[in-house]
Amino acid sequence: MKIKNYINGEFVNPILDNWIDNYNPSNGEIYSQIPNSSDIDLKNAFKAAKNAFPKWSETTLEKRSQILSNIAHLITEKLPELAAAEAKDNGKPLELAKSIDIPRAAANFQFFANAITQFASETHDSVGLNAINFTLRQPIGVVGCISPWNLPLYLFTWKIAPAIAAGNCVVAKPSEITPMTAFLLGEILNEAGLPKGVLNIVHGSGKTIGQAIVAHSEIKAISFTGGTQTGAHIAKVAAPMFKKLSLELGGKNPAIIFADCNYDEMLEATVRSSFANQGQICLCGSRIFIEASIYQKFKTDFITAVSKLKVGNPFDSTSDLGALVSKPHLEKVRSYIDNAAQYGGKVIFGGNLVSIHNFESGYYLEPTIIEVKDNSCVLNQEEIFGPVVTIMPFNNENEVLAMANDSSYGLSATLWTNDLKKTMRISKQIHTGIVWVNTWLLRDLRTPFGGVKNSGVGREGGLEALRFFTEPKNICIKYN
């Protein structure tokens, strides 16, 4: 099967007829091909977007909102098909795709369908000067959206929905590792009545078509989610062109567990925050710090709980963990486990490949717990992005705060305590963009989302996303 680019409302082959193999991680087989798009394909996608912009940017908010709502409804209607495609393309459990990925993709469109009707701008009455200022929030024009493989449709739509809601036209590129649901979205866009050219989807490798989108002189804003190194490279290319940039990058998130927390809730959530989606969520808590007085109990109970997780083929409804996304990624994750001792860690649970009956060539790995002694070790400093967490004890609040902040990343943190003062002290002092207290991954789409330090710049979510995808223009009128 061949996946096609979606340009000007039509499905087209890459002009140079170059293709990339697409793997099914559950069995290691190549099951489709995707366009390895070039500059020529980008030229066509850009042209379509540019032509669509004058009309789309002047389309009423009600109309735009209605179309986004239509898209949301169609995604919901086609949930079984989209979830199955996501599980096959990514290796994630089908149940997870059904309950999280696809519903969230629909919610992204529905949220911005509503949000755009409430997006207002400011006026400033220059009292005593007989002048009034008002600020327009105008769409930027053609913008670029580039997304990663871990939550394919979820993150792809998280960018596209606010971009088009705000009146922009888009050239978007999903990850070449998980292109399928973005491809299926094209059909939905047509059915929903999105005018041709408003959203164009080009497939291919980051180094060619991704790079070309970023370097395109007339694509004025780039919303990117992916690795920190890629983000740094994108910033280097885009900065001299003064593009607007939103970069959502990697993380190495601390989970801080105090003895005074609600223990059972914490344990259940910590298993999820460690291993959901095979640990391939940028928000997973991968450095777990436990107050010394409950460390031994936690260690025993955590191992017991994790040992109950079932690694299985993604289509088996009893699988808690599916396959990792690709062979190279599996090898990268394994290299951290294999070298754990050298990095000062001790594997206390898991660490082995798993062979699944009838899926023997898939990329399966046990959920893995490594005990470390020092937060400065490689295992606590580098993003592994797989089903691997570290645990270590701490003695007091200052010590754990220092360790949590001793990281080049600053995406999210999870805090488990029932002490309100401690909650406030730590939440204020921790260097992350997001803090969850006594919960994990509870998302309200109105809230700002993003990280500090090497986890990125800019915020997405709610009105922040609409601000990013618009350019403020102040108009000052003098009257006598």
- The residues of the shown chain that bind ligand NAD, judged by CB under 6 A, are 146-150, 155, 173, 175-176, 205-207, 210-211, 214, 225-227, 230, 233-234, 248-251, 282, 383, 385, 411, 451, 455-456
Compute the least distance from the CB of residue 63 to ligand NAD, in Å. Answer: 30
Compute the least distance from the CB of residue 455 to ligand NAD, in Å. Answer: 6
- Which is the catalytic residue, given 248, 371, 383, 464? 248
CA 69 – CA 73 distance, rounded (Å) = 6
Question: Where do we find the tokens 């099967």?
Answer: 1
- Would you say how long the chain is, in residues? 480
Compute the least distance from the CB of residue 433 to ligand NAD, in Å. Answer: 9
Residue of closest CB approach to ligand NAD: 206
Task: Indicate the residue among 108 and 175 with the shorter CB distance to ligand NAD.
Answer: 175
Task: Indicate the residue among 298 and 449 with the shorter CB distance to ligand NAD.
Answer: 449
Compute the least distance from the CB of residue 186 to ligand NAD, in Å. Answer: 17
Question: Where do we find the tokens 């500059």?
Answer: 39
CA distances from residue 27 to 42, 87, 311 in whole angstroms, order as listed: 33, 12, 14
- Which is the catalytic residue, given 169, 282, 284, 377? 282
Residue 42's SS3 state is helix
Compute the least distance from the CB of residue 211 to ligand NAD, in Å. Answer: 4
Assess contact for 278 and 92: CB atoms under 8 A: yes
Task: Indicate the residue among 98 and 173 with the shorter CB distance to ligand NAD.
Answer: 173
Q: How many helices (H) does the chain have, and how many strands (E)? A: 16, 22
Task: Indicate the residue among 192 and 276 with the shorter CB distance to ligand NAD.
Answer: 276
CA 95 – CA 230 distance, rounded (Å) = 31
Query: Closest by alpha carbon to 52, among 148, 147, 189, 241?
Result: 189
Compute the least distance from the CB of residue 347 to ligand NAD, in Å. Answer: 23
Compute the least distance from the CB of residue 393 to ligand NAD, in Å. Answer: 26
Question: Where do we find the tokens 């002694």?
Answer: 373
- Spatial neighbors of 386 by CB under 8 A, at least 6 apart, are 278, 279, 280, 324, 329, 330, 332, 333, 336, 365
Task: Indicate the residue among 200 and 230 with the shorter CB distance to ligand NAD.
Answer: 230
Question: Where do we find the tokens 């239509």?
Answer: 70
Residue 93's SS3 state is coil
List beta partners, residue 20: 34
Task: Indicate the residue among 161 and 214 with the shorter CB distance to ligand NAD.
Answer: 214
Ramachandran class of 462: left when φ > 0, alpha when ψ lies in -120 to 50, beta otherwise: left
Active site residue 282: yes
Task: Indicate the residue among 227 and 344 with the shorter CB distance to ligand NAD.
Answer: 227
Residue 243's SS3 state is coil
Return the ∠ at Cα 351 (arms to 284 and 272), rounded to 5°. 25
CA 425 – CA 239 distance, rounded (Å) = 36
Residues designated catalytic: 248, 282
